[in-house]
Amino acid sequence: MKLNSNSWREAIAPVLVIEDEPSVLAFICSALERNGYRVVQATTGTEGLRLLREQEFSGVISDMRTPGGINGADVHAWITANRPEMISRLLFTTGDTASEETAAILVNTGTPCLEKPFRVQQLVAAVEKIVGRRY
């Protein structure tokens, strides 16, 4: 199969993980790396947006709530406005699906979401759907 330059970049580009909880971040990164994905970490939404401006990513996994005033909805809005080709490659994670605000964001964006705590198999299956399989 011959890859054009965009497909080639997407095939080798890492997944951006925006997560402020160290244990969850380590879990996600370890699970993805064991399954053949390269990962770049951001511990705030602000850092995640900076990285999105500077680099190419095959997909983005963003916690719905991160410190610093930039949340998952803001990440979604930025991608929609600046990298619309990536909107189908965004995955939310949250421990707060009972919140009306979170539920509204999920409905309004249509972005898939994993509810914490989730299993490695759930994470890998969700990432495979948005960016493809690595092994």
Mean pLDDT, the chain, rounded, equals 89
User: Which pLDDT value is given to residue 2?
Assistant: 40
Query: CB of 60 within 8 A of CB of 16?
Result: yes
Model's pTM, two decimal places? 0.89
At 4, give phi and psi (nearest 5°).
Answer: -80, 175
Assess contact for 48 and 76: CB atoms under 8 A: no
Structural domain 5-130, CATH architecture: 3-Layer(aba) Sandwich (3.40)
pLDDT band at residue 135, thresholds of 50, 70 and 90?
Answer: low
| pLDDT beyond 90 at 16 | yes
Each residue's pLDDT tens digit, 72-93: 999 999 999 999 999 999 999 9
Give the start-end residues of each E strand in 29-89.
39-42, 59-63
pLDDT in the model for residue 11: 53
